[in-house]
Structure 1
Amino acid sequence: MGSHSRARRVAAALGFAGLLCAVLGVIMIVMVPSIIKQQVLKNVRIDPSSLSFNMWKEIPVPFYLSVYFFDVVNPKEILQGQKPRVQERGPYVYREFRHKSNITFNDNDTVSFLEYRSFQFQPDKSRGLESDSIVMPNILVLSAAMMMENGPMSLKLIMTLAFSTLGERAFMNRTVSEIMWGYEDPLIHIINKYFPNTFPFKGKFGLFAELNNSDSGLFTVFTGVKNFSRIHLVDKWNGISKVNFWHSDQCNMINGTSGQMWAPFMTPESSLEFYSPEACRSMKLIYKEQGVFEGIPTFRFVAPNTLFANGSIYPPNEGFCPCRESGIQNVSTCRFNAPLFLSHPHFYNADPVLAEAVSGLHPNPEEHSLFLDIHPTNWEDRAGDPATDVVWRERGNGG
């Protein structure tokens, strides 16, 4: 009898323990995700007391900029009216370092900051050296010629004489380092003399000369401390809430974030919107698919076909006009009227006539589309950033 009684007590105890574990399990299933979510929301805010503040201040995840150039194969024949032929060179890879400075918290749940950038060449990741020579259009000459197009005849004669005297040509042969970080050109001094304040630089000219060791403007973004729904969204850039480069309010709007972090807990219904000072406009990427990058689950967001479409193809882009063929955007209005355009590499997603006009272009979505891979819930991000992790895959074509 005693053994049966003990067995019943043991069975009852085990049953109670099992019931207790089941109840605790249900509570854990219900409560733990909510607790984790609350901890994420608490620690991704831009606040000196949050776990992510130092990571936001100086992002520990390495950024790499891969630059490709189109080397012009037949410059003399082009001047005689033949079809341009180009050869893609690169990538020339640079490690990009970023850190925020002049951090000021404001009373309206925002923080203002300057983010400085510097670049360091990575020869082990590159296909070529900075000493490689590239033949490409002479941007200074073409810009000066465009500025003279509607100028008085006297100034046109002065510039023509300057081109001849200085030996300036429509194409130039420069090293990658010179094209990226600048080279001396006496034409700059002539332009600054006769057209003061036309160019933002007084010394060397280079595609990235003004970006290295510089900031991208004063950003003011929401911290998410008082209103989490607006975290990382841009309130103002350089003190303004919209730019004046374009011809419609919609195109001039400053939307989204500064392009590095977004709110956590992304879904396929989410979109990624950010303001790019280099492009002088806001851009929106849309969800495409799930994936995995080095073991990290990701959502891929891609640029829509309409990103650089002209106004006739996509009416909301009419404000970016005057437009040319669809797929290229004229940014001369925010680049000192220099003849500069934005497009995907190799004129991907553009009017086919553009790629067909140049031999050596082979647009395809695998290599030339614009996309961001985002870790959607981010709490176990191996990079250590408890905010939404951005896996940047940048591809730039110079020339």
Structure 2
Amino acid sequence: MKKSSIIWISIAFVLVLMGMISLIGLPIILVKIIDSKVILTPDGESYRLWRDLPVPIYLKFYLFNVTNAQQIQSSGAKPELKQIGPFVYRVNVRKDGVNFTDGYQSVTFNELMTYHFDRQLSVDDLSLKITTLNSPLAIAMTLMEDLNPMMKIMATVLIRHIDDDFFVEKSVEELLFDGYPDLLTKLAPLLNPKIPYQPSFGWMYKKNDTYDGLFKVNTGKSDIKKVNAIETFNGQQELDFWSGKECNTFKGAKNGELFNPIPSSDKTLLLFRTNFCRVLTLIWKSAQKSQYGDLSVYRYYPSDNTFANSSDYPPNSCYKPNKTRTEVKDFDNNELDLKTIINRLENLIVTNDSDIFTLLEDTYMDYKLNGSKYFKNFTDIDVHKKYREFPSGIFDLSACYFKAPVYISNAHFLNADPYYLQTVSGLKPDPSVHQSFLDIEPMTGTPIELQLRVQINVFISSVANYFIKYKNMPKIHIPVVWQEFTIHATDELAKDLHWKLTGPLLITTIVSSLLVAIGSLTLLYFFIKPVIKRCRNLRSTDSLMIDENPVVDNCDTSALIDDSQPTYS
């Protein structure tokens, strides 16, 4: 064999080998490259996206208008609800005070949340009036359950003096961010000193342009699986709302802005949002194509046991409120002197409310002179000291909202016990509209779409029935609003991510395949070259010899399938 042929064959082998190595090793190399970009370091690509969140974020509110408020209060009629919404707010998220610690193993930050109303995406103006539950009144009655006799008398006199209805008409802006002045809200610290003073009530009151809390998360430098995992929140390594340690731990949960690259075997994710006061478990549902950028994503849904009670799902028994946190110790005593009450009131009472102070002072003096017998109707109010467990489908948030009877559920009581839909009318649960879900691009752990849908319900305590005006109020959970927190990638961002994931692999696969093909064809040429040469030599043999002695040509196979036999004369 000529030296040049040996060189060409060697080159061909090298080309095939390089191509095969590239085809086999490239996915592994790409995973390493992607992991290095996901790590939260100042020069990392994921860090810039995580810090600035260049994606649309919306918070949508759907309020429930009560159409038969008077009948509910007067005769205990079933609440008839009509959903009105959405009222859409664009959300800006900014991370302040970003500080890397522990050799870039962790990063701390404050997250500033700012909300801007978007009229174009909303169903109506914020001035629209809604008839809704008088939530401060319902909350006050629940707080009364744990008061000592003296404070219970004070609260009863106060509620009777105010004489509010159990339903109020307020504008959307008052019910959400602006709030509306409310005397019971002002005096809430009198019922529970742990409640901070605020003059107005609103479900999002004083939550605009405020920090969501101080987070410390893992950067993933040592272990990519821990990237963005919460290590501490407000300086604490675990929550303290719940009775069981298992329910207070973060367990490596993420805040939903970034996850680690997800192996196909990982069927659960953990999500922590501050307004839920707990970690949510998300379960893998399917692999599918996203509507954004044609990306392949994994879809996760909240676990079916998220809002199950402990009877239906025993592990949820640790979500009972932590008594050491909710207990109001100075209410354990049956007597509170006038000075203590005055000290609590002096910063709560304003000029227009001075008659309230006089009323409570007179009530206190009557109690001291005549004792609790004089107020027998007040002190007979039943006290529910035991934890109440309701049918599955709701979750008690009173532990992190100063014992207020606030319960969350899926929107329209989706997947809840049928009991809840029997207590109200007007709700129509629909998984396509009310189910929460999370779509994640698995190679990078990038959330492509998050739809977090939660309903707020307020429980009406049996204390209401001790007031003549409210004696017929039903003891049920009344939905007041449900919200939809939405994050989704832009088409531009999704397409860019799709190209970064598929582009390098596509190009190198094509190049590697070409190397294999060129090398293989070259080897094939040198292997069949001697056969071709031999065939050419045979065809140049004297044609006369072929005519006199017809035989099968060594390079022509057609004679092997010829059925005719040669004839000899």
TM-score normalised over the length of structure 1: 0.88
Q: Work out which of the two has the higher radius of gyration on C-alpha atoms and give 1 or 2.
A: 2
- Greater relative contact order (CA < 8 Å, ≥ 6 in sequence): 2
Instruction: Report if the CA contact (8 A) 1:67-1:396 is conserved.
Output: no
Letter in 1 for 2:37: N
1:232-381 pair list within 5 angstroms = 232-255=228-251, 256-267=253-264, 269-294=266-291, 295-321=294-320, 322=387, 323-378=389-444
**Shift of residue 309, structure 1, vs aligned partner:** 0.1
| CA distance in structure 2 between the partners assigned to 1:292 and 1:238 by the alignment | 38
Deviations 1:19-55 (A, max 9, x none): 5554333222123222221221111111112122222
Q: Deviations over 1:296-337 (max 9, x none)?
A: 222110012111100000000011233211111111011111
Residue 108 of structure 2 aligns with an amino acid whose one-letter code is S
| 2:79 matched residue in structure 1 | 84
Q: How do 1:218-237 residues align onto structure 2 when only pairs under 5 Å count?
A: 218-237=214-233
Write the distance in 2 (CA, Å) between the matches of 1:337 and 1:157.
19
- Code of the residue aligned with 1:97 in structure 2: it is N
Q: Deviations over 1:57-76 (max 9, x none)?
A: 11111111121111111111
Aligned residues: 383
1:1-399 superposed matches below 5 A: 21-79=15-73, 80-107=75-102, 109-181=105-177, 182-192=179-189, 194-195=190-191, 197-255=193-251, 256-267=253-264, 269-294=266-291, 295-321=294-320, 322=387, 323-378=389-444, 388-398=446-456, 399=480
2:354 aligned partner: none
In the other structure, the counterpart of 2:500 is none
Paired residues of 1:180 and 1:207 also in contact (CA < 8 A): yes
CA shift for structure 1 position 270? 3.1
Amino acid at match of 2:95: K
C-alpha separation in 2, matches of 1:159 and 1:248: 32
Moved more, 329-338 or 197-206: 197-206
Structure 2 distance, partners of 1:319, 1:119, is 34
Q: Conserved in 2, the CA contact under 8 Å of 1:260 and 1:390? A: no
Q: In structure 2, what is the equivalent of residue 381 of structure 1?
A: none
CA deviation after TM superposition for structure 1 residue 135, in Å: 1.2
Name the aligned partner's letter for residue 113 of structure 2.
R
Unaligned residue ranges in structure 1 (runs of 5+): 379-386
User: Whole-Å Cα distance in 2 between the matches of residues 89 and 276 of structure 1?
Assistant: 25
Q: Distance in 2 between matches of 1:174 and 1:19?
A: 80
* One-letter identity of the residue aligned with 1:53: Y
Identity across matched positions, percent: 29
Conserved 8 A contact 1:254-1:282: yes
* Contact 1:258–1:274 under 8 Å retained in 2: yes
In the TM superposition, residue 258 of structure 1 has moved relative to its aligned partner by: 2.2
**Greater mean deviation of Cα atoms: 81-90 or 101-110:** 101-110
Give the secondary structure class of the aligned counterpart of 2:201. Answer: coil
Aligned partners of 1:373, 1:165: CA distance in 2, in Å? 52
Q: What amino acid is the match of 1:242?
A: E
**For residues 425 and 214 of structure 2, what CA distance do their matches in structure 1 show?**
42
Higher helix share: 2
Instruction: Say if 1:67 and 1:397, in contact at 8 Å, map to a contact too.
Output: no
Query: Over aligned residues, Cα RMSD in angstroms?
Result: 2.5
How many angstroms does 1:142 deviate by? 0.8
Distance 2:231 2:281 in 1: 17
- In the TM superposition, what is the alpha-carbon distance from 1:390 to its structure 2 partner? 3.8
**What is the Cα deviation at residue 87 of structure 1?**
0.8
334-343 vs 129-138, greater mean Cα deviation: 129-138
> Corresponding residue for 1:383?
none
Instruction: State the partner residue of 2:371.
Output: none
Q: Is the 8 A contact 1:284 1:303 kept in 2?
A: yes
Give the direction of change, closer, same or farther, for the CA distance of 1:18–1:121 in structure 2 (3 Å limit): farther
- For residue 288 of structure 1, report the CA deviation from its aligned partner: 0.4
